[in-house]
Chains A and B, each alone.
Chain A
């Protein structure tokens, strides 16, 4: 058991890579067997990740060094609270997404399902890989694999439009990837090390021009995936992918990889002290704050449901970036926890949007009048996610937003408190009307109870439940809150004894 625990980081990465190979070999003709691989891999992956939670919370860091991949740099894994937080949420949501995707892909009679499930598995391998990366090079390696593996999912529809969007996606992703490689080379050439250190390892002695160049390269590299404006425009377009991809990758895994990159950059490469002193924190915070407000405003104007959710994602990703950039413990805690709560709430909303689309063919908000009577569970869950994102108590979003708000007061930045509050209102303005229209207006099309398939409704119900649980008892579910605290303690050195 102990041995298993110590190889768990690697197993968690490999298990889905294995599935990615098994899936196309099994093929469309034996699709039940093929889907079994996805389900088994997702459960096993989550198991491997979850079994490390008690140890990591007790201060254990599971480390593995695989091979020396460059002079003085190893392909190495290290499980710390930050990586574990992201890995736990992503791998747990993959289980639900797997069931959901089966319902979605079969319900919509989609093409190339083997490629779809295979690439999804590769993406999850890469995501967990970058969570557990012990140094920048390993991180960049998985980050690049994630970028490339997402491409076939974006062009899944195979239409001219999908290819055009795929091209745009690649240009953004490759540019970002090369910026990261450049930044990594820069850091290695200047310091000779790439290992993540809680509290950072760069020193002010490198000089402002170098530090700013490093920051610029990484901000470009992570900003693309994190959708920080003005680098966000690929994300709403990427919604052309099947909804399970939008839900898991473009609300959780891929985009949060960018956000997670900022966490690593600020907390483990620069360190909060240096990042604040050089002034980069302010720059990042201003960009993030502008993104929050603009994305919320744009979301108001979108009639396409997935586009509206996509802009909402853009905004919420910047909540996390802003929380990190504020550098004070409470804000970082809120940011870390928002990675989990936003994941749960947003995936619920996307699942709902997909269920509605597959079941009724409706894509636009204006077509959803009265649909709540037909699909009460789906729209009920949508309502929970919507009020959660707006920051209503008893849903997870309230807790993370609370700490973000407290953090901006702690940091003495009342303007950002204002940003969070205004954006909360805007969230309510663009999400809640969808629910009210669905339930309180009526339409001749939607009469009588008629839900989507159980394979889709059950995951929706679970993610909704998770969103609520995170709000009612933040630490009750996989101790996400304790892990978030451990991250902040590691990065800032503050202790939260008795807090939370």
Chain B
């Protein structure tokens, strides 16, 4: 059992390597190897979560037998179990979805896509598991490199958007690393547990303060915290659907996770809330991001771009949970990590299915798809309801907890922001829903007006059918997940999240 923390990222790393080798001989074999590695890591994550929940103890693993602080330690605690299960689950769903979609959208590049996906998951799960602030940087960069590769294989604008992302990402990593350096010089250790023992004596230390600030700025860039989000819409719009479906749900969330980890487990209690107003700053920026993302999403005609702006708003819900810094609010934020991962993954994958069958990515062209692809579109409705926050979907509960947290914190402006943004989400998601379920071609005049007179040549004339099973099943799984997580959200909270936020109970 104690090997589980190491097993999760290593099986993914190994899969990445072998998948590339196998992929050079046959694409199918490359996919099979990557999928096998991801499934193994998901199994390990489940086992680990079971172990942590049933014993209530974290699993610690010293890499290479080197005991910390000399060696690097992996820690599978409640929060890490929560994150790794999510990361590997999304990985499993997307890897089975990917082949048809990537072959269609980025022909000839699939060989490199599967190893990169495994590598991305290895980086993200490593970030969640490591107990060392420098090692976290290493995994951050591994994940980032894999992400650059994956994003660049998309549409024409993909490489350009990715280069911009690369520059921002490098800056983000740099800020974080600089902070780690300050921390090391002040405290003399990089191990999180040691840091949390030493830092209480150094709360007045300017270098420690600078370290905290730099690390959060770096992670904020990676997390696309408003106004550091500007790289995101272009990246998500131009990436292959399967890649957006993998990266959008989990990548920014893991950076948010890292901030939460620093806040709860590395820096002393009160450091992020009182010594430095970090949580409050994150909260206010997030409040801005929620409004900004939701408002810009309304104006978008491209389905993926709309989702990207919506992501700017949604990641900010997690940030708002950090900003509230009280147990129920942070539970709302943490729950929203899973909720949003499921719904945004769902919505991006649906976009891929639609594109495969119709070639369409613009919302006005999606008219009448409800008839052609009923199951995919019912799944869309579930995703849309969850984004708006209609019970019993998952989205309802995270918003409810954030609202309660805002009441407890007396944060009335944030309370109003959450309420307003739900209305805005309703506007842009119901616009799409209405379009989908209209009779196709019932009113051609309106379609062309929405398009601004352009004619989309990619719309095929032949009748459109339901997505292939390999793409439909992952979509249905995510849609069911959105509802199950909503109905059983309290099980997740009591099993995992309550112990995560225990340090805040004071």
Contacts and interface: CB of A to CB of B under 8 A. Distances in A.
Contact of A70 (B389, B401, B407, B419): B401
A67 interface: yes
Contacts of B439: 158
Interface in A56-94: 67-71
A70 B442 contact: no
B390 A148 contact: yes
Given A69-B487, A70-B490, A185 B389 contact: no
Contacts of B422: 174, 178, 181
Given A177-B390, A184-B400, A158 B407 contact: no
A186 B390 CA distance: 18
B391 interface: yes
A170 B430 contact: yes
A70 B434 CA distance: 32
A182 interface: yes
Interface in B354-404: 385, 388-392, 396-397, 399-401, 403-404
Contacts of B488: 67
Contacts of A190: 407
Nearest to A70: B490
Interface stretch (A138-146, A405-413, A485-493): A138-146
Given A67-B488, A140-B391, A182 B385 contact: no
A360 interface: no
Contact of A189 (B331, B404, B489): B404
B407 A189 contact: yes
A167 interface: yes
Interface string B34-45: 000000000000
A177 B490 CA distance: 22
Contacts of A160: 443, 446
B434 A144 contact: no
Contacts of A163: 434, 438
A184 B396 CA distance: 12
B328 interface: yes
Given A67-B488, A70-B401, A166-B434, A141 B391 contact: yes
Contact of A167 (B423, B434, B443): B434
Helix, strand, loop or mixed for chain B's interface?
Answer: helix
B426 interface: yes
Given A69-B489, A69-B490, A141-B391, A148 B403 contact: no
B399 A174 contact: no
A348 to B, nearest CB: 33
Nearest to B422: A178
A449 B71 CA distance: 96
Nearest to A217: B419
B456 interface: no
A1 B400 CA distance: 39
B230 interface: no
Contacts of A167: 430, 434
A202 to B, nearest CB: 14
A71 B493 contact: yes
Q: What does DSSP make chain A's interface, helix, strand, loop or mixed?
A: helix
Interface residues of B, number: 39
B184 interface: no
B415 interface: yes
Contacts of B494: 68, 71
A67 B430 contact: no
Interface string A158-172: 101001001100110
Nearest to B443: A160
Contacts of B450: none
Contact of B391 (A144, A175, A186): A144
Nearest to A160: B443
B155 interface: no
Given A160-B443, A178-B419, A70 B397 contact: yes
Contact of B404 (A68, A69, A188): A188
B442 A158 contact: yes
Contacts of A145: 390-392
Interface in A24-76: 67-71
A189 B408 contact: yes
Contact of B407 (A148, A171, A177, A188): A188
A23 to B, nearest CB: 15
Contacts of B438: 158, 163
Interface string A175-204: 101110110111011100000000000000
Interface in A217-255: none
B256 to A, nearest CB: 22
A67 to B, nearest CB: 7
B388 A182 contact: no
Give the residue among A68, A167, A178 with the most B Cβ atoms within 10 A: A178
B51 to A, nearest CB: 24
A185 B489 CA distance: 17
Nearest to B327: A71
A67 B397 CA distance: 14
Contacts of A175: 423
B403 A185 contact: yes
Contact of B328 (A67, A71, A140): A71
A182 B331 CA distance: 17
A256 to B, nearest CB: 21
B400 A181 contact: yes
Contacts of A166: 434
B423 A178 contact: yes
A185 B400 contact: yes
Contacts of B388: 174
A158 B399 CA distance: 33
B426 A174 contact: yes
A69 B490 CA distance: 5
A189 B408 CA distance: 5
Contacts of A174: 388, 422-423, 426
A170 B390 CA distance: 12
Given A141-B391, A144-B391, A182 B490 contact: no
A178 B397 CA distance: 12
Nearest to B497: A71
B495 to A, nearest CB: 12
Nearest to A74: B490
Nearest to A69: B490
Contacts of B498: 71
A136 to B, nearest CB: 11
Nearest to B488: A67
Interface string B316-355: 0000000000001001000000000000000000000000
Nearest to A147: B390
B403 A181 contact: yes
A185 B407 contact: yes
Interface in B413-427: 415, 418-419, 422-423, 426
B399 A181 contact: yes
A463 B34 CA distance: 65
Contacts of A148: 385, 390
A220 to B, nearest CB: 11
A189 B406 CA distance: 8
Interface in B458-502: 487-490, 493-494, 498
Contacts of A179: 419
Contacts of B487: 67, 69
A185 B397 CA distance: 11
B466 to A, nearest CB: 16
A140 B438 CA distance: 29
A373 B478 CA distance: 59
Given A174-B423, A185-B415, 12 more contacts: A67-B490, A70-B401, A70-B490, A71-B328, A71-B490, A140-B391, A158-B442, A166-B434, A174-B388, A181-B422, A182-B415, A182-B418
15 contacts: A70-B397, A70-B490, A71-B331, A141-B392, A144-B391, A145-B390, A163-B438, A171-B426, A178-B419, A179-B419, A185-B403, A186-B415, A188-B404, A189-B405, A189-B407
Instruction: Give the top 8 A-B pairs by smallest Cβ distance, nearest first.
Output: A189-B407, A185-B403, A141-B391, A174-B426, A185-B404, A189-B404, A68-B490, A178-B422
